[in-house]
Amino acid sequence: MKKSKCVLLFIFLLQSLILFAQVNKITKQENVIYGMVSGAALLMDIYQPSPSNHMGILVIPGSAYGYVYEDFYGQQELKTDYLQDSNYLGKWAQALAQDGYTVFVINHRFAPAFHSTEIIADCRRAVRFIRFNAGKYAIDSKKIGAFGHSSGASLSAFLGVSDTIIQNTEDPVERVSSKVQAVVTLAAPFDLSDFNKKADTAIDNSFDLKMMESFMGELPPLNEDTFFLSGKYAAASPLAQVSKDTAPMLIYYSDNDPLIPQRQAQNMYRKLRENGVPSKIIMTTHTGHTPLPDMNEVDTWFREYLK
């Protein structure tokens, strides 16, 4: 009996090791061109696992929309720079690949040289490129999610609340949907006008205002200490675009984020629920601007809503 149990245990461990080795086989493709803008290439890196679960995740790193990046020759690319933070977004993206997701990490154009409409257009183009080439990357074109941190989380959320299909174009990539089917956000600004209230004494307002002005080109209308969510600020804010057709959204935020007020996540969650959108909000404690996701929960979320 003992010998039989030992043999069974050995077989189980051997199967586990084989499965682990299979899941850990990840092929990386660097600098894949997903679009061209004024002669400049938009690039992504692609992480393809073997075996694959045939679901794709677009990963958008945080960068204050590019505002925090130095503008000099040889600057590290956004899609490469995120890997340097091996304990944060790079770690989570690698975990997704290990779980069988094909991961697409993108560059986009940077503020202040470019503003919201151009940067959002880049992210939409990335989704279209992935969807159009789904067969090439062994994923289902109807099973694409978005995962991002900070400004990248806001852009990820935007891909879940809106859709665009360009009909009159010679480019077939532009004729497919730019909407993702599920979203996970980390420390996302959902209302781009909501940064300047008296309650925000612990928030780094000066940085937030400079970042938003850089991204939008100007600040929104102001009444005393309150900005109005209107015009192009509303057009670029995920909160203002929520509808019953919004993609299911898992929201992580922190109780002591120095940049994003807690109410941003809470107000977005409330709006999602009011519209009947599957959603969940999770507050992590004392994690600042880097809330820690439970990757088992993230995996469960994507598998549930990309099914």
At 196, the amino acid letter reads N
CB 143 within 8 A of CB 54: yes
What would the DSSP string read from start to end of 164-224? ----S-S-GGGGS----SEEEEES----TT----GGGTTS-HHHHHHHHHHHHSSPPPEET
CB 251 within 8 A of CB 196: no
Tens-digit pLDDT profile for residues 24-48: 689 999 999 999 998 889 999 999 9
**Per-position b or e across 71-103, b if 16+ CB within 10 A of its CB:** eeeeeebbbbbbbeeeebbbebbbbbbbbbbbb
CB 81 within 8 A of CB 61: yes
Binned at pLDDT 50, 70 and 90, residue 288 comes out as: very high
Torsion (CA) 16, 17, 20, 22 in degrees, nearest 10: -110
Binned at pLDDT 50, 70 and 90, residue 268 comes out as: very high
Residue 242 Cα to chain centre, angstroms: 17
Higher pLDDT, 35 or 164: 35
Q: Is the peptide bond before 220 cis (omega within 30 degrees of 0)?
A: no
Separation CA 93–CA 112 (nearest Å): 27
Token digits of residue 61: 């790193």
Which fold, 25-305? Answer: Rossmann fold (3.40.50)
Domains of the chain, residue spans:
25-305
pTM above 0.85, yes or no: yes
Binned at pLDDT 50, 70 and 90, residue 220 comes out as: confident
pLDDT given for residue 19 in this prediction: 46
At 231, the amino acid letter reads G
Looking at the DSSP assignment, which residues form a beta bridge with residue 284?
Answer: 254
Share of the chain above pLDDT 90, in %: 66
Binned at pLDDT 50, 70 and 90, residue 245 comes out as: very high
